[in-house]
Amino acid sequence: MKKSRIFALILLVLLCFSGCSSGTPEEEAPIVVAEEPVEQEETKVEPAEPVEEVVEPEEASPLDLLGSIQSKIFDTLVVETEIYGPEGFISKSIVYQKGGNARTEIELPDGQKQIVILRAEEGITYQYAFGSKQGMKIVHGNAEAVMDRVQAMGGKMEMPNLRDVRNRLDEHMVVRKEELNGEKAIYIEFNDLHENVDQAVVKMWYSEEYAYPIRYELFVNGELMMRSDVTKLEVNIDLDDSLFMPPEDVVFIEIPLEGQFEMPQMPDDDE
């Protein structure tokens, strides 16, 4: 809110006193008072202080801004994300990472809660629905094969990594500094190619502090198809190792990596 400032002008009143006397005074010899000359002080003019020229910093180029986003390695990481689509809310996920192990919990609109546990050293991924007595066990040897299955369960859609983004850099890409929910971020916007799509635009906001995408938006033919928002991000906190262990009361069926398998559904209350 703009605040008005009112300044009052102070007027100085000079009072002059004059007096007059009546009667006829006796004549007296005039008294002459010799006034001593008043020495006037010389006014010294101080040299003006030199004015420093303000040099505006040059705006960083898109390449420099992209280069400023350097991947960081944390001992542990916890990320909460909300996913929205054209019809509104799609899912909410929480990702826990410790070393090479990861646990992803995905809440779907129908109330289901899907859980994916990646045991990196063993090269095994466990997937099951919360409350179910069976799940599946995938032996894959690396984490890359897990992503498609996580997306199929309603998880975070795949987004280009930094290397892909840098390779797409051209005169049409928009890269600038912005603030998102009070956090300093690098905003990136570029056109993407998808089959059977006339125009697709990707918008990403990377946290300057964590070098992590805290918002991702995909527009197809001008319509927002998907948006993911990171609502919480914590690093280097204590995480219990039990988070990354499969539950003992769930029977896991081993399936081939290339096989098709539907995630087990939530059990009915009467079962």
pLDDT classification of 151: cutoffs 50, 70, 90: very low
* pTM beyond cutoff 0.75: no
d(CA 106, CA 101): 17
Question: What CATH architecture does domain 62-255 belong to?
Answer: Clam (2.50)
Q: What is the mean pLDDT of residues 48-55?
A: 54
CA distances from 185 to 160, 168, 207 (A): 17, 19, 5
Query: How far apart (Å, rounded) are the C-alpha atoms in residues 69 and 211?
Result: 6
Q: Which helix (H) or strand (E) holds 135?
A: strand 134-139
Most confident of 20-24, 54-58, 92-96, 258-262: 92-96
- Pick the more confident residue, 154 or 182: 182
Half-sphere exposure of 109 (CA within 13 A, CB side): 8
pLDDT of residue 39: 56
Over residues 123-150, mean pLDDT:
78
Strand pairing report for 251-255 and 134-139:
parallel
181: region left, alpha or beta (phi > 0 left; psi from -120 to 50 alpha): left
| 255 or 74, which is more confident | 74
- At residue 106, the pLDDT reads 96
| Whole-number pLDDT of residue 168 | 82
- pLDDT bin (cut points 50, 70, 90) of residue 238 is very high
pLDDT of residue 89: 84
